[in-house]
Chains A and B, each alone.
Chain A
Amino acid sequence: MTAFTKPLATLRHATGMPTGRLALWWLLASEIVIFGGLLMSYVMHRIGHPEWANQAAHTNQYIGLTNTMVLLTSSLSAVIAHRHAQLGNGKRAAQFLWLTILGGIMFAVIKFGFEWPHEIAEGFIPSASGFWGFYYCAAGLHAAHVIAGATVMFIVSLDALKNKELQRVELVGIYWHFVDVVWIFLFPLLYIAK
Chain B
Amino acid sequence: MTEHAATAAAHAEEHHEEHIHPASYYVKTWAILVVLLAISFAGPFLGIKWVTLTTAFGIAIVKCFLVCARFMHLNIEKRLASMIVLIAVVLMGLFFSGVSPDIMKHEGDNWVNIAANAETVRRIEREGADGKKLDEEVEKRLEEHEHGGGAKPEGAKHE
Contacts and interface: CB of A to CB of B under 8 A. Distances in A.
B83 to A, nearest CB: 9
A185 B87 CA distance: 19
A22 interface: yes
Nearest to B5: A13
Contact of A184 (B20, B60, B137): B60
A177 B138 contact: no
A83 B19 CA distance: 10
B88 A33 contact: yes
B30 interface: yes
Given A65-B37, A83-B23, A193-B52, A50 B100 contact: no
B67 A30 contact: no
A32 B30 contact: no
Interface in B1-51: 1, 5, 8-9, 12-13, 17, 20-21, 23, 26-27, 29-30, 33-34, 37, 40-41, 43-44
Interface in B54-79: 56-57, 59-60, 63-64, 67-68, 70-73, 77-78
A86 B26 contact: no
Given A12-B9, A80-B23, A184-B60, A53 B78 contact: no
A80 B89 CA distance: 28
A181 B52 CA distance: 20
Interface in A43-60: 43-45, 47-51, 53-55, 57
Given A15-B78, A33-B92, A40-B92, A184 B30 contact: no
Interface stretch (A71-79, A106-114, A118-126): A71-79
Contacts of B64: 181, 184-185
A99 B119 CA distance: 46
A45 to B, nearest CB: 6
A104 to B, nearest CB: 16
Determine chain B's interface SS by DSSP, over half rule: helix
A192 B44 contact: yes
A152 B123 CA distance: 43
A45 B68 CA distance: 28
B17 A86 contact: yes
Given A53-B135, A129-B123, A193-B53, A37 B88 contact: no
Interface in A1-49: 11-13, 15-17, 21-22, 25-26, 28-30, 32-33, 36-37, 40-41, 43-45, 47-49
Contact of B84 (A26, A49, A51): A26
A133 interface: no
A153 B99 CA distance: 37
B106 interface: yes
Nearest to B132: A54
- The 10 residue pairs across chains A and B that have the minimum distance between CB atoms: A36-B92, A188-B56, A32-B88, A44-B103, A29-B88, A51-B123, A12-B9, A76-B30, A192-B56, A50-B137
Interface of A: 11-13, 15-17, 21-22, 25-26, 28-30, 32-33, 36-37, 40-41, 43-45, 47-51, 53-55, 57, 61, 65, 68-69, 72-73, 75-76, 78-80, 83, 86-87, 129-130, 173-174, 177-178, 180-181, 184-185, 187-188, 192-194
